[in-house]
Chain A
Amino acid sequence: MNIFRLAGDMTHLASVLVLLLKIHTIKSCAGVSLRTQELYAIVFATRYLDIFTSFVSVYNTFMKLVFLGSSFSIVWYMRYHKAVHRTYDREQDTFRHWFLVLPCLVLALLIHEKFTFLEVLWTFSLYLEAVAILPQLVLLQRTRNIDNLTGQYIFLLGGYRGLYILNWIYRYFTEPHFVHWITWIAGLVQTLLYADFFYYYFLRFIGGRGVE
């Protein structure tokens, strides 16, 4: 564990907590894409399949449970909670996210480190996570400005993988044989997809306006 990865995990945790806070306290998911949340639930479900078979640390297992629990709870809230469900913007959240799942699965079947069931699904989760934010970014463009909590959620979610990139650079220089091109490229693509969001988000900080 290094400071970059810890900061990355804490940023990721913060993004999930901000979203749960928004949905649970003000009972609203306005501006939040259910499709992105569904993709993230699939990402965690396929990435943490080894949660019961390979123990790394208490921290690792705890965080996996938090991410699994929170992502599925958010989907449940947005789909079935009567108050929250009413605030979901169904007409605008129309990105065909299932069109993202299949190509990621095919790509995982073609490009992976080992051809085993767990490894292919784990690789699939990496590719899917890289594009999972797309429905949210499209929804953001359609609904124009968004509330602060949703903006902070997206900012933290984009930032965590950027910190992971610093972690991979650090581990590459400090650990022999630490080379994972698939993870690195997927993480880089994921972070680059947030580039224009970060640009407008920082403009907001500088200009003091809402996220246009």
Chain B
Amino acid sequence: EANNEKKDEL
């Protein structure tokens, strides 16, 4: 699931 996490950083 590491890959599917949302990109929460700018």
Contact = CB atoms under 8 A, between A and B. Distances in A.
Interface in A175-200: 177-179, 183
Interface string B1-10: 1110111111
A104 B9 CA distance: 20
Contacts of B3: 113-114
A125 to B, nearest CB: 11
A12 B9 CA distance: 13
Q: Identify whether the interface residues of A are mostly helix, strand, loop, or mixed.
A: helix
Instruction: Kindly name the residue among B1, B8, B9 whose own CB sees the greatest number of chain A CB atoms within 10 A.
Output: B9
A60 B2 contact: no
A164 B6 contact: no
Contact size class for A?
A: 20 to 34
B6 A64 contact: no
B2 A179 contact: yes
Nearest to A118: B7
B10 to A, nearest CB: 5
Contact of B8 (A12, A56, A113, A122): A56
A122 B6 CA distance: 13
Contacts of B2: 177-179
Contacts of B6: 54, 56
Contacts of A54: 6-7
Contact of B10 (A67, A113, A114): A67
Interface in A21-59: 50, 54, 56-57
Instruction: Kindly name the residue among A56, A63, A114 whose own CB sees the greatest number of chain B CB atoms within 10 A.
Output: A56
Nearest to A164: B9
Interface of B: 1-3, 5-10
Interface of A: 5, 9, 12, 50, 54, 56-57, 60, 63-64, 67, 113-114, 122, 164, 167, 177-179, 183
19 contacts: A5-B9, A9-B10, A12-B10, A50-B7, A54-B6, A54-B7, A56-B6, A56-B7, A63-B10, A67-B10, A113-B3, A114-B3, A122-B7, A177-B1, A177-B2, A177-B5, A178-B2, A179-B2, A183-B9
